[in-house]
Amino acid sequence: MAYGTEALVLFEVELESYRTKVYNMETNSFGLRENVDLLEEERKVAHQRNMKYLLQEAQHYDSNIKKRSFGVGDLVLRELAASMPTKQGKLQPKWEGPYKVIEVVRPGTYKLETLSGEAIKNT
């Protein structure tokens, strides 16, 4: 579209084609208004398609994840970013430990202690 009307190629202006013969300003503007009215519906359909795709992608990703739970007395490693967020670096190790689980607060949350028996804060 060009300035509210349908664009024409230069040779169509000089040589009469079917499009130039049957062109009617009234029907053209009606068609353009109809396209604008359908635009919101097309956006909704595209949004629904995108949401469906994201849901399928999440389900595929989640199908490969294995749940792990630890019990009291298990030895675990702790992510270094959780304990020392300012001491991270490209060449730093990602994990620290081992630590011993002393209490399961809820699934995925544990209280830890070192192997010598000192309790760890902020676990």
Check residue 10 and give its pLDDT. Answer: 62
Task: State whether 103 and 84 are in the same domain.
Answer: yes
Judge if 73 and 117 occupy the same domain.
Answer: yes
CA 100 → CA 27, 71, 84, 94, 109, distances in Å?
A: 78, 10, 19, 18, 13
* Cα–Cα distance measured from residue 122 to residue 101, given in angstroms and rounded to the nearest whole number: 13
| 3-class DSSP state of 86 | helix
Q: What confidence score (pLDDT) does residue 58 get?
A: 94
User: What token pair was written down for 30?
Assistant: 């009606």
pLDDT 10s digits, 12-66: 556 666 766 776 777 777 777 777 778 888 899 999 999 999 999 999 998 888 8
β-partners of residue 112 are 101
- What is the rounded distance in angstroms from the CA atom of residue 65 to the CA atom of residue 60? 9
Domain that holds residue 19: 10-63
Please determine, for residue 104, whether its predicted confidence score (pLDDT) is greater than 70. yes
Same domain assignment for residues 72 and 54: no
* One domain for residues 52 and 33: yes
Residue 89, pLDDT > 70, answer: yes
CATH code (residue 92): 2.30.30.140
